[in-house]
């Protein structure tokens, strides 16, 4: 095996290709159940044109254009529609979220950061600090500590009642407006800092 040229601070994890490099390519069977999001872009989500129990064919339209910036959605498989439901999606749309407690907010922040950066949820530690302006709480800083030196952050601003998400380079990648402000729960685990 040849030595990989390096630089100060560089990381070179093993490729681990030994298990698959000699294997042939195989087509995987379709899964038993697939979930198809009707919003796959920054425009308006498509409007479902099927209902539970309908049979669909691969390529058939299951959601029609629903606005000026919108696209139809097509079925990726043959099968039967089991249900149509609203679920949170990790994309740039900022629908208001209903989070009752600071713990609910912490869980949402953890899931959003992990989904965005392809980390396993509830594996890496996440810390929070209540931010104070004067004597009044003005927000909460969340820090998720991933593998190596990866640190991801989010800030809940109480003034705007929004959560701002930041990547490892400090660039904001998402903003979520909260429908109502979670209740502050001052626990021993919630340390305060001055803003």
Would 1 be classed as within a structural domain? Answer: no
155 Ramachandran zone, left/alpha/beta (phi>0; psi -120 to 50)? beta
For the residues of 35-48, what is the DSSP string, one character each? ---S--SSSPPPEE
With 60 as the cut, is the pLDDT of residue 35 above it? yes
And the tokens for 62?
């299951």
Question: What's the pLDDT at 125?
Answer: 93
CB 88 within 8 A of CB 73: no
Largest CA distance in the chain: 65
Q: Which of 145, 138, 131 is nearest to 193 (CA)?
A: 131
To the nearest whole percent, how much of the chain has pLDDT over 70? Answer: 79
> Do 121 and 62 belong together in one domain?
no
> Do 106 and 137 belong together in one domain?
yes
CB 93 within 8 A of CB 72: no
Mean per-residue pLDDT, 101-128:
89
> Do 80 and 120 belong together in one domain?
no
Confidence bin at 189 (pLDDT 50/70/90): very low
Tens-digit pLDDT profile for residues 138-176:
899 999 999 888 999 999 998 888 899 999 999 998 888
Domain that holds residue 46: 25-87
Would 18 be classed as within a structural domain? Answer: no
And the tokens for 68?
């000026």
Tens-digit pLDDT profile for residues 45-98:
789 999 999 999 999 999 998 876 678 999 999 999 999 887 666 554 545 566
With 90 as the cut, is the pLDDT of residue 11 above it? no
161 Ramachandran zone, left/alpha/beta (phi>0; psi -120 to 50)? left
| Boundary-marking domain end, from 87, 113, 132 | 87
Tens-digit pLDDT profile for residues 40-58:
766 677 899 999 999 999 9
């Amino acid at each position: 095996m040849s030595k990989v040229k390096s630089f100060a601070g560089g990381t070179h994890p093993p490729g681990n290709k030994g298990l698959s490099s000699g294997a042939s390519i195989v087509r995987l069977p379709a899964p038993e159940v697939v979930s198809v999001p009707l919003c796959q872009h920054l425009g308006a989500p498509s409007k479902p044109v099927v209902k539970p129990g309908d049979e669909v064919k691969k390529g058939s339209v299951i959601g029609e254009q629903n606005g000026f910036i919108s696209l139809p959605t097509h079925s990726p498989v043959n099968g039967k529609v089991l249900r149509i439901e609203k679920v949170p999606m990790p994309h740039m749309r900022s629908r208001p979220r209903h989070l009752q407690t600071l713990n609910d907010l912490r869980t949402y922040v953890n899931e959003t950061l992990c989904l965005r950066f392809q980390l396993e949820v509830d594996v890496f530690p996440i810390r929070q600090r209540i931010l104070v302006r004067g004597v009044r709480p003005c927000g909460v800083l969340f820090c998720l500590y991933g593998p190596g030196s990866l640190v991801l952050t989010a800030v809940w601003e109480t003034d705007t009642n929004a959560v701002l998400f930041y990547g490892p380079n400090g660039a904001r990648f998402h903003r979520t407006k909260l429908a109502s402000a979670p209740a502050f729960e001052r626990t021993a685990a919630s340390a305060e800092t001055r803003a």
